[in-house]
Amino acid sequence: MPAARIADTTDAEAVAALLVEFRDWIGRAEPGREGTLASVRRLLDDPSAEFLLAGDPVEAVCQLRYRHSVWTGTDDCEIEDLFVREGARGGGLGRLLVTAALERARARGCGRILLDTGSSNAPALALYRSFGFDGDDVRLRRPL
Question: What residue spans define the domains of the chain?
Answer: 5-130
pLDDT band for position 135 (cuts 50, 70, 90) = confident
Distance, CA of 62 to CA of 66 (rounded, Å):
13
Say whether pLDDT at 142 is over 60.
no
CATH number of 5-130: 3.40.630.30
pTM of the model: 0.93
Say whether pLDDT at 64 is over 70.
yes
When the pLDDT of each residue in the chain is averaged and rounded to a whole number, the result is: 93
Q: In the prediction, which pLDDT does 139 show?
A: 72
Q: Strand 49-54 relative to strand 5-6: parallel, antiparallel, unpaired?
A: antiparallel
Distance, CA of 57 to CA of 126 (rounded, Å):
26
- Single-letter amino acid, residue 137: D
Q: In the prediction, which pLDDT does 95 show?
A: 97
Mean pLDDT of 102-121: 92
Say whether pLDDT at 2 is over 80.
no
